[in-house]
Structure 1
Amino acid sequence: MPRQVDHTDRRRRIAEAVCRLADERGLEGVTLRDVAACAQVSMGAVQRCFRTKEEMLVFALGHIGERIGERVRARLVRSPAQSAGTALGHAVTELSLLREEHRAEARVWLAFIAQAAVSEPLAGMLRANYASLQEAFTRLITEAGDGSDRAASLDPQREARTLLALADGLTAHVLIGHLTRQEAQDVLHAHLAGLWGQPVPLPRTD
């Protein structure tokens, strides 16, 4: 009998290969032939999984986005002892990819953002991801501001948008060496503290 092929696993291996190559040379240097070699599958296998290179890139973006999203969602789940502000701060720290072990992930994520400027399928997936995060951040900002004197002056949706933009900006500034991870953490800490007029505990990134 012919050997059964696990297509889900193969597509995941191809996505991982895309991410490794994007980390090494950027998305412009990712070719179907190199992806096949990196994933240790044939060119035909790649083409059977994905009709075009763009379809392959969209799947790879979804793959890395889900990996980051799982960590963010884990931070958004509040324990009884955790305030909404703390949950928000931890989630934004994860999204900013400031830890050293996430440096390769950060390079790949920004490569996809750059490519999305000229690829509507990639841009559409990113918009959907950001919309979901914006909704979660808006809810937490609203909850964290309940009962505070500053709550009346806050626009939760606008602040959620600001945090999403700040997260990607900090990722880029750390990658190019304009900021250290600690300096980026300080910027994030100061911004969150300014929302409610009090410090927000954040996880360490060193």
Structure 2
Amino acid sequence: MPKKVDPQERRTLIADALMRVAAEQGLEAVSLRHVAAEAGVSAGMVQHYFRTKDEMMAFALAVVRDRSQIRVTEAVARLGDNPSPRLLLRTMIAALLPLDEQTRSDGRVALAFLAYTAVRPAAAAGLREETAQLIAFIASVLPAPNANEAAAGLLALMEGLGVYLLGGQYTAEQALSALDAHLDMIFNSAAPG
């Protein structure tokens, strides 16, 4: 009797291999052949699940996004009911930053995908909507009178800190200290008096 194959499981196996290739060798090394070798499957199997490199990249980014969402959800749940807006934002952003080996690996893939979308705008279509949603959520908990601008700045800070962490220019402590200083600036400037 033939073994039942879970297509989602196979796609995830292939996406994990793609992420390892991208994280270890850079995005330019990502090809159907390299990903197949890393996954221990045939190039034909990779092509069965992903017709193009763009499809593989989009799926790998979705896997990274799902992992990030799980990290954020778990971190926020540990805060209990009704955390302060500052603590909520710090916790969410810290969960998204590449502060350990797993998150650095995911961060390298996300950064590679962002660079990839810079020359393939169609591949970035979904990111625009997600970015707008994230900015809207952050703005909804900020006390600043110009909350949308402050939210965009906070998101840009997070991305910049992520790049510096991945490049080794900042340690985790330096990144978190910079995040705290920026959050203090936002929340203290909104305080009365």
Identity between Structure 1 and Structure 2 (%): 39
Q: Which residue number corresponds to residue 89 of structure 1?
A: 90
Unmatched runs of 5 consecutive residues or more in structure 1: 146-150, 199-206
Contact 2:97 2:103 in 1 (8 A): no
Q: How many residues align?
A: 188
Once residues 84 and 42 of structure 1 are traced to their aligned partners in structure 2, the CA distance between those partners, rounded to angstroms, is 49
Task: Say whether residues 1:182 and 2:173 are aligned partners.
Answer: yes
Q: Which residue number corresponds to residue 152 of structure 2?
A: 161
Letter in 2 for 1:34: H
After TM superposition, give the deviation of residue 133 of structure 1 in Å.
1.6
Letter in 1 for 2:174: E
Q: Which residue number corresponds to residue 99 of structure 1?
A: 100
- Alpha-carbon displacement from aligned partner over 1:135-191 (angstroms, at most 9, x marks no partner): 2212221xxx2xxxxx4xx31111111111111100111222322221111111000
**CA RMSD in angstroms, aligned pairs only:** 1.9
- Alpha-carbon displacement from aligned partner over 1:51-89 (angstroms, at most 9, x marks no partner): 111111111111111111222244455622521221111
After TM superposition, give the deviation of residue 128 of structure 1 in Å.
2.6
Query: 1:73 and 1:120, CA in 2 relative to 1: closer, same or farther beyond 3 A?
Result: farther
Q: Which residue number corresponds to residue 193 of structure 1?
A: 184
Once residues 35 and 73 of structure 2 are traced to their aligned partners in structure 1, the CA distance between those partners, rounded to angstroms, is 30
Unmatched runs of 5 consecutive residues or more in structure 2: none
Once residues 74 and 163 of structure 1 are traced to their aligned partners in structure 2, the CA distance between those partners, rounded to angstroms, is 21
Letter in 1 for 2:72: V
After TM superposition, give the deviation of residue 19 of structure 1 in Å.
0.4
Q: Which residue number corresponds to residue 139 of structure 2?
A: 138
Contact 2:161 2:175 in 1 (8 A): yes
Aligned-partner SS, 2:83: coil
Task: Say whether residues 1:124 and 2:140 are aligned partners.
Answer: no
1:1-206 correspondence runs (5 A): 1-76=1-76, 79-80=80-81, 82-141=83-142, 145=143, 151=144, 154-197=145-188
Contact 2:75 2:92 in 1 (8 A): yes
Runs of 4+ more than 6 Å apart: none
Letter in 2 for 1:140: V
After TM superposition, give the deviation of residue 96 of structure 1 in Å.
2.2
Contact 2:32 2:53 in 1 (8 A): yes
